């Protein structure tokens, strides 16, 4: 039913664009015949609007991967650097939540570990919506922030790093078998800023998959059983994402190099001082309004990365200070 709904939406959108374009052209012809400049101008604006929508629809056609339509998990981890990196990780978590809200996606906070003074050490978001994984999958990697530190009394410029890991929710169509003997399960007390994330029992669950070294954790619910079930789902999703990555590497070593998600392979720089710029180091896409990007305006970067995955041919991009 989900696939059918998506296909119906795409087909109806193409038909609507075609009809509206035809209507606009007819109005322009009538306006020219009658010397009606207002009608001509209005119809030209309509065509420009249709052109922009057609471009967005064209990008959506790139979301044809095996799990692109699925919901997705987004993990954010602070790098070395203490409070600076932990604050940056918190900013990234907010950025992805705002991006999801702009698209009317549902966002759930599954796990969060607060920093000692400010920010977070890690957090896991569950983002639900059509093509959530397809849009976010190119965000995996290391993100760098350059700014005058609000925590430095000498107002010096600091560089901070945080990593983002994106992997799809595995639904009933995908079968992932995991041996319990390959896993270590730990329980611990939930942490957070209050509410349901602070419990008096060891309800949070962490699962370590020993063969792969993958670790997942959930502390959203008060019930240990519910957190355990969610953690198992997260582990299945991580293993599935790892398999997808292996297939991609096997298919194209060049593509694998461009989309490597290992720590140390930085994908984007966010410079707030001495000038303002966000630049993607894979595609060259950039913005001179970092605040808009941090408020969730990520579509131009995602579109460029998706196009590069499909079409390739991007030149190497130099890093920025």
Averaged over 77-105, what is the pLDDT? 93
β-bridge partners, 74: 125, 166
Buried b (16+ CB within 10 A) or exposed e, 25-52: eebbeebeeeeeeeebeebeebeeebee
pLDDT of residue 32: 92
pLDDT tens for 19-30 read: 999 999 999 999
The stretch 176-203 carries a mean pLDDT of: 73
Report pLDDT digits (tens) over 213-229: 899 999 878 888 889 89
pLDDT higher than 80, residue 294: yes
Domain boundaries, the chain: 2-60, 72-165+260-311, 180-249
Average pLDDT of the chain to the nearest whole number: 84
Q: With 0-12 CB in 10 A as exposed, 13-18 as middle and 19+ as buried, what is 247?
A: exposed
Report d(CA 235, CA 227) in Å as an integer: 12
For the chain, give the number of residues.
Answer: 321
Q: What pLDDT score was predicted for residue 77?
A: 93
Backbone angles phi, psi at 160, to 5 degrees: -125, 150
* Mean per-residue pLDDT, 192-201: 52
The three state secondary structure string of 220-267 is CCCCHHHHHHHHHHHHHHHHHHHHHHHHHHHHCHHHHHHCCCCCCCEE
Return the CATH number of 72-165+260-311, one of 3.40.50.300, 3.30.70.1660, 3.40.640.10, 2.30.30.60.
3.30.70.1660
Quote the pLDDT of residue 265: 64
pLDDT value at position 90? 95
Q: What is the pLDDT of residues 16-58, one digit of tens each?
A: 999 999 999 999 999 999 888 999 999 999 999 999 888 878 8
pLDDT computed for residue 320 by the predictor: 43
> What's the pLDDT band for 149 if we cut at 50, 70, 90?
confident
Query: Contact at 8 Å (CB) between 108 and 125?
Result: yes
> What is the architecture, at CATH level 2, of domain 180-249?
2-Layer Sandwich (3.30)
């Amino acid at each position: 039913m989900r696939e059918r709904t998506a296909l119906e939406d795409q087909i109806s959108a193409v038909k609507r664009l075609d009809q509206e374009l035809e209507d606009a052209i007819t109005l322009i012809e009538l306006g020219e015949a009658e010397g009606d400049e207002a009608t001509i101008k209005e119809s030209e604006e309509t065509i420009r609007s249709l052109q922009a929508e057609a471009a967005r629809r064209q990008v959506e056609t790139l979301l044809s991967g095996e799990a692109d339509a699925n919901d997705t998990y987004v993990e954010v981890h602070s790098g070395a650097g203490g409070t600076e990196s932990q604050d940056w990780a918190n900013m990234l978590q907010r950025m992805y939540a705002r991006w999801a809200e702009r698209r009317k996606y549902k966002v759930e906070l599954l796990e969060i570990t607060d920093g000692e003074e400010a920010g977070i050490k890690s957090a896991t978001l569950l983002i639900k919506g059509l093509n959530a994984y397809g849009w976010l999958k190119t965000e995996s990697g290391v993100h760098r922030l350059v700014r005058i530190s609000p925590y430095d009394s000498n107002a010096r410029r600091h560089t901070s790093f945080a990593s983002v890991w994106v992997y799809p929710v595995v639904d009933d169509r995908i079968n992932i078998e995991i041996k319990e003997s390959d896993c270590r399960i730990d329980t611990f007390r939930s942490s957070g800023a209050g509410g349901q994330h602070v419990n008096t029992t060891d309800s949070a669950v962490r699962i370590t998959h020993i063969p792969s070294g993958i670790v997942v954790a959930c502390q959203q619910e008060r019930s240990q059983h519910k957190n355990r079930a969610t953690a198992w789902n997260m582990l299945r999703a991580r293993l599935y994402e790892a398999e997808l990555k292996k297939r991609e590497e096997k298919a194209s070593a060049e593509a694998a190099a461009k989309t490597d998600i290992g720590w140390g392979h930085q994908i984007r720089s966010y410079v707030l001082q001495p000038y303002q710029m966000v630049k993607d180091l894979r595609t060259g896409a950039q913005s001179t309004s970092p605040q808009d990007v941090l408020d969730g305006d990520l579509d131009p970067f995602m579109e460029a990365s998706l196009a590069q995955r499909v079409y390739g041919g991007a030149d190497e991009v130099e890093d920025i200070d």
